[in-house]
Structure 1
Amino acid sequence: MIQKGQNVVIGENVTLGENVVVGHNVVIYEGTEIGNNVIIQDNAVIGKQPTRAKASILPKVKKLTATKIGSGVTVGTSAIIYANAEIGNDVFIADLATVRERVTVGEKTIVGRGVAVENDCTVGKNCKLETNCYITAYSDLGDYVFVAPYVVTTNDNYMARGKERLDKFKGVTIKDGGRIGANATILPGKTIFEDGAVAAGSIVTRDVSSESLVVGAPARELRKVPNEQLLRNQ
């Protein structure tokens, strides 16, 4: 059974599973695959093709393949999921979140209100991306990663100037169990290794070792993460 609200637009060749609820003013673009027991709330857009700005340095791309939404997923009000994104089972995508093209989100992950996951990112399973954090393009997050509100990740050391930057874009890598506190900033290409932790408000200018807690601007190791806090002991 499919429950649809008013003014819903569903494109050609869209596949809808059983017990799908679609709110008012939802747009689902052609070819999108949606699993069972999915809730798509009002004004959400699924499968949107990206639009390239005239001044963009990104290469032109042809029409992307369709979006895939697993079973048990909730997509919040006014959230946007772009084409060629893959959303795993039981993912929760909150109101006003954006998941860009060629992004993979693992099962049971929470993408919080207003979160932006830019293009070409991988997010693992059982992650928590909290309100208004920013995951820059070309980033790789493992499983059980925690990103607190207003965290900023970056991928351009040249800050949009100089042709030498064009082949050097690199997002951040957060290995399994990595955690980042509120308002922290992670500079391009940096890796937070397994169970590494970044304190609130810190600026990460170099890699964070496994099981280390770093603090400050620039961030330095303060101590090791307490044993009872390690992922393997949860």
Structure 2
Amino acid sequence: MNHISESAKIGSNVIFGYNNIIEENVEIGDNVKIGHNVVIYSGTKIGEGCHIHDNVVIGKKPMRAARSIMKEQKQYDPAVIGARCTIGTNSIVYAQCKISDEVFIADLATVRENVTIGNQTIVGRGAAIENECKVGAFCKIETNAYITAFSEIEDYVFIAPGVVTSNDNYIGRTEQRHKAFKGCTVRRGGRIGANSTLLPGIIIEPDGVVGAGSVVTKQVPSETIVVGNPAKYLRPVPNDQLLKNNLK
């Protein structure tokens, strides 16, 4: 049995599984497939041709712990999901997210409030994109990667499994940290190897590469490979691996 609000606008050829909740003023485009036990909160817009798998939640408003450093936001705009997106089983897309066309969000992923994701980006299984992040188009954020709040990921970025980014240089101590939060920035074509860690405020310049298992403590120059703990210069990125030579 499904609960679908009378004010919801449902396109043609939409297929529902069982036990779905579609709240008021939701808009669902044509040819959308929705699995079982899906919750879509009020005002959410879902573009044509999307596939929403079982147990997905879209448009959830964030909770606030008593000790949270994030300022409370009274109102959140509804989530917007573009055309032909896939959202995998048990994933959560929060309110005030804007997901562009043909984005693929795998099972168990979390996309927090105030996040934008560009066209055809892939968010891997169990990946987490925290609040206030911008993710560009044609990116790959692989399994169990963690994108900390206030980060920016530009177009054509590759983030391998297990990558961790951070935004708090004070590691949870002193009041000064509240004024100094700063996420990471990965410029166009940057690539981060598996299990690497980026410290707060780090910038990876265009086509910069971080080797697997590295700890990045300083800005990575454009078209440069760094490796190690702390990460240090290794060599230039080979010409045949530069983004400009791989776009068709």
Residue type of the alignment partner of 1:227 = N
TM-score by length of 1: 1.00
Q: Does structure 2 retain, via aligned residues, the 8 Å contact 1:150–1:184?
A: yes
The Cα of 1:59 is off from its aligned counterpart by 1.1
Name the structure 2 match of 1:179.
191
1:158 and 2:167 matched: no
What pairs up with 1:195-210 in 2 under 5 angstroms?
A: 195-210=207-222
Q: Distance in 2 between matches of 1:180 and 1:110?
A: 15
1:86 and 2:98 matched: yes
Runs (4+) of structure 1 moved beyond 6 Å?
none
Of 147, 154, 157, 1:142 maps to 154
Q: Distance in 2 between matches of 1:95 and 1:50?
A: 20
The Cα of 1:66 is off from its aligned counterpart by 0.2
Name the structure 1 match of 2:115.
103
The Cα of 1:190 is off from its aligned counterpart by 0.6
The Cα of 1:109 is off from its aligned counterpart by 0.2
Q: Does structure 2 retain, via aligned residues, the 8 Å contact 1:49–1:63?
A: no
Q: Distance in 1 between matches of 2:230 and 2:188?
A: 23
Q: What do residues 36-93 of structure 1 show as CA deviations (whole Å, max 9, x unaligned)? A: 0000000000000001011111111102010000001000000000000000000000
Name the structure 2 match of 1:26.
38
What secondary structure is seen at the aligned counterpart in 2 of 1:228? helix
Of 24, 48, 55, 2:67 maps to 55
Q: CA RMSD in A?
A: 0.4
Q: Which runs of 5 or more residues in structure 2 are unaligned?
A: 1-12
Name the structure 2 match of 1:223.
235
Identity %: 57
Name the structure 1 match of 2:127.
115
Name the structure 1 match of 2:9.
none
Residue type of the alignment partner of 1:126 = F
Q: Distance in 1 between matches of 2:206 and 2:233?
A: 15
Q: Which runs of 5 or more residues in structure 1 are unaligned?
A: none
Q: Give the number of equivalent residue pairs.
A: 234
Q: What do residues 169-197 of structure 1 show as CA deviations (whole Å, max 9, x unaligned)? A: 00000000000000000000010000000
Q: Distance in 2 between matches of 1:222 and 1:122?
A: 29
Residue type of the alignment partner of 2:19 = N
1:189 and 2:186 matched: no
